[in-house]
Amino acid sequence: MSRAASVLLNFDPALNQLDPQDSGKELRQGLSMVLEIGPTLWVANDETLTLERLTRQPGPTRTYADHTRFALHELLRLPVPPEDDQAPGEAPEADIEGLDYADGYLWLVGSHSLKRRKAKAGTSVAKNQKRLADVSTDGNRYLLARVPVVFDAAGLPTLVAVAGEGRDRRHAARLQGNDEGDELTHALADDPHLGPFLAIPGKDNGFDIEGLAVTPDGHVLLGLRGPVLRGWAVVLEVALAPDPADPTVLHLQPIGPDGALFRKHFVQLRGLGIRDMLRDGADLLLLAGPTMDLDAPVTVFRWRGGAAPQAESVVFADDSQLTPVLDVPTSRTSRLGTDRAEGICRLTDDPTRLLVVYDAADPARFQGPSSVTADLFRLDE
């Protein structure tokens, strides 16, 4: 494995600062996914309620700038809308972990996970024990939605709440739910594999969505960071349709055995969970990493035919359908807990390589007051 190149992402300094009261909280520090649409890259920080668009710049080095922000609450009816005076880092986060673009829509998904508070250095044993017992959620994490994409006069993709007219009219819409769950979590509640994990925080190997891909027939694949069941990662497949009476609401459709509202695909990824997914023709590229908060191997696998499954599946590690194609370093330096690979995408003009962005980015990646580098890796096909 060799690093082919770096990509520079230039964020607006004002927008990079997520919380005006906390100078250490920056957009560039934690990118949870990346998606290419035309000449633009779309990213998000998992602690915000916004999507960020960057545009390719001319020149010999690959650079993206001209930062534009899209607020989700201006496009969708969120379970917990932000208050008017809240900064992006203060608003109830959606923990956006997956993006895809298909049929004129940008699809997005929140983690749907619970969270456990961290222990804090310098705090008493009793207080840290109390912190570690505190499990909660942000209601906006229960988000599975699509937003219309239109192209402006400059040919740049833009998000709108409503696009088109008459039969071509398209609405931003999300899966029916509230701040305590949605149709997906309700459908999974009695599932023997996943139901018991809905009450466990994501970083404790609980239920945690971290990847999204749309199949050629319009189904949505959701990659789970957790749970990993005896070394098996899970991909959920769902079909959605708008409510006939309200086009801003989506409902799950029967798709699985005996009319179930989901299909399950079990994939053996060396004990790793799914951190992102990318449709590549008929195949699915799976960014696999640890479910826990660990410095551990991160590998990209190619699941041949995975982008268009015809039925539920169990894919073994030694199956010819499953091939490791890239090992991603866990850090640029000796710093532990940095450079967690979180998002992958192909670039149209350089399809032999894979772009990787990072959560907990190593400070060695930072350039200037608000820029960060991502990596381009050549895939072992």
What digits encode the pLDDT tens for the residues 147-198? Answer: 999 999 999 999 999 999 988 899 999 999 999 999 999 999 999 999 999 9
Contact criterion met (CB below 8 Å) for 187 and 262: yes
Two structure tokens written together for 306: 């995975």
Band (pLDDT 50/70/90 cuts) for residue 264 is: very high
Looking at per-residue pLDDT, the higher value among 138 and 211 belongs to 211
Q: Across the beta sheet with 322-328, what order do the strands follow?
A: 273-280, 283-289, 298-303, 322-328
Lowest mean pLDDT among 84-93, 295-304, 311-320, 362-371: 84-93
pLDDT at 2 over 60: no
189 vs 186: CA distance, rounded Å: 5
Residues 6+ apart with CB under 8 A from 283: 302, 303, 304, 305, 306, 307
Kindly tell me if the per-residue pLDDT of 3 is higher than 70.
no
Strands 273-280 and 283-289: antiparallel
Burial class (CB in 10 A: 0-12, 13-18, 19+), 247: middle
| pLDDT category of residue 20 using cuts at 50, 70 and 90 | low
Mean of pLDDT values over 262-272: 97
pLDDT for position 57: 96
CA 302/CA 237 separation, integer angstroms: 17
Phi-psi region of 368 (alpha: psi -120 to 50; beta: other; left: phi over 0): left
Cα separation of 364 and 117, whole Å?
Answer: 27
pLDDT category, 87, cuts 50, 70, 90?
low
Spatial separation of the C-alpha atoms in residues 374 and 48, rounded to whole Å: 20
CA distance 229 to 232: 5
What's the average model confidence in pLDDT over 310-328? 94
Cα(26)–Cα(79) distance, rounded to whole angstroms? 25
| Backbone φ and ψ of 33, nearest 5° | -170, 170
What is the predicted pLDDT for the residue at 23? 58
pLDDT at 337 over 80: no
pLDDT in tens, 354-374: 999 999 898 999 999 999 999
Closest CA to 257 of 311, 186, 194, 196: 311
Cβ-count burial 351-361 (b if 16+ within 10 Å, e if not): eebbbbbbbeb
Q: Is the peptide bond before 39 cis (omega within 30 degrees of 0)?
A: no
pTM of the model: 0.95
Show the tokens assigned to 228: 């990993």
Identify the pLDDT of residue 287.
97
Mean pLDDT, the chain, rounded, equals 92
* Higher pLDDT among residues 245 and 332, named by residue: 245
